[in-house]
Amino acid sequence: MAYRDHTRVVKIGDRLIGGGNPILIQSMTNTRTEDVKATVEQIHRLENAGCEIIRCTVPTPEAAKAVAEIKKEISIPLVADIHFDYKMAIAAMENGADKIRINPGNIGGKDRIAEVVRCARERQIPIRVGVNSGSLEKNLVEKYGGVTAEGLVESALDKVGMVEDCGYDQMVISIKSSNVMMCIRAHEILAQKTDYPLHVGITEAGTLMSGNIKSAVGLGVILYQGIGDTIRVSLTGDPVEEIKSGKQILRTLGLRKGGIDVVSCPTCGRTKIDLIGLANQVETLVQGYPLNIKVAVMGCAVNGPGEAREADIGIAGGDGEGLLIKHGEIIRKMPEDQLLDALKQELDSML
């Protein structure tokens, strides 16, 4: 069952999520939101990479005011991230935030929650209700004998109830944990208990290597089950890398079309060229092409044509020379140092 086909439709700026709409990729700025210039520059880089929703922290009145200026310069929806101060949530919405992210349990009593919800309802701004395993309530930890998937789900639904009690239902739910298997299980339980759209991610996943592996495994299992309406790959690094990884995860699962898919063989004793360097150069090169094709990078001129047969274009290296291949057929032979330029010329001709 594709749960995402049956989730409620929620509008975030000019984008729709839920109800079977395409899964959107999010990231979060790591600049000071008060620094409008730096924040806008980073968002533009993320937009160019394919980011579809951006989140910015709003910890101060100055950051809330900056939201209005940032919004003038970007073309994707902006989510204001609020941790404790309910006044910042209201200020962010008054300055044009397209969505707010809060944990209702952290911003005060029912009166403060009601004020935030009232402002959101008046402006039809959705609320992302976020629960993190690192801040699970003590009573739920005791109830379940530790931090568990069941505890995360109960906490999330409790917070959703707080907003619903204020007469509002434009919500997205996010339950995150750095424990991949716990996160998977929590989403499996939650998807059966609610029809609100779900934002999916493995929080604090780690560096580019470990973070990508954890995110690919966790998001892959969750998304494959038909769960999830937006995603973020949380990495300790340049946020642009989060977008690249998110796009690759969605393409690998068949949930997104478009973009060049680069396949490359592992190195072996037959490899006579700098295959690792060449493959990385090709991966960087193809980022800017709006083509829906497969490009193969092979390290062996003997087996390369056969291995690259399923690709639209391929290059294969030999001993100081290389081959340009189309659909398994050798087009021409050239010196190794000309392979990248030859591939670029072929890609350019397809635009």
Tokens coding 252: 């690998």
Q: What is the mean pLDDT of the chain?
A: 88
pLDDT over threshold 80, residue 306: no
What is the mean pLDDT of the segment spanning 304-332? 77
- pLDDT, residue 237, reads 85
pLDDT, residue 257, reads 81
The better pLDDT of the pair 313, 63 is held by 63
Name residue 26's beta-bridge partners.
Answer: 53
Instruction: Provide the pLDDT for residue 100.
Output: 95
Rounded mean pLDDT of 89-105? Answer: 91
* pLDDT tens digits, 15-33: 999 999 999 999 999 999 9
Question: Residue 305: what pLDDT?
Answer: 61
**Residue-wise pLDDT tens digits, 252-269:** 999 988 778 887 777 666
pLDDT at 351: 81
Q: pTM here?
A: 0.86
Question: How many other CB atoms are there within 10 angstroms of residue 266's CB atom?
Answer: 8
Residues linked to residue 55 through DSSP beta bridges, in sequence order: 28, 79
Is the pLDDT assigned to residue 205 strictly greater than 90? no
Mean pLDDT over 142-171 rounds to 93
Domains assigned to the chain: 3-252 (3.20.20.20), 261-349 (3.30.413.10)
Determine the pLDDT at residue 299: 75
Cα-flanking dihedrals φ and ψ of residue 171, to 5°?
-135, 155
Mean pLDDT of 295-304: 72
| C-alpha dihedral, 213 to 218 to 224 to 226, nearest 10° | -150
Residues pairing with 230 in the sheet: 24, 199
Asked whether residue 43 carries a pLDDT value surpassing 80, the answer given is yes
CA angle 214, 217, 220 (to 5 degrees): 135
Whether the per-residue pLDDT at 1 is higher than 60: the answer is: no
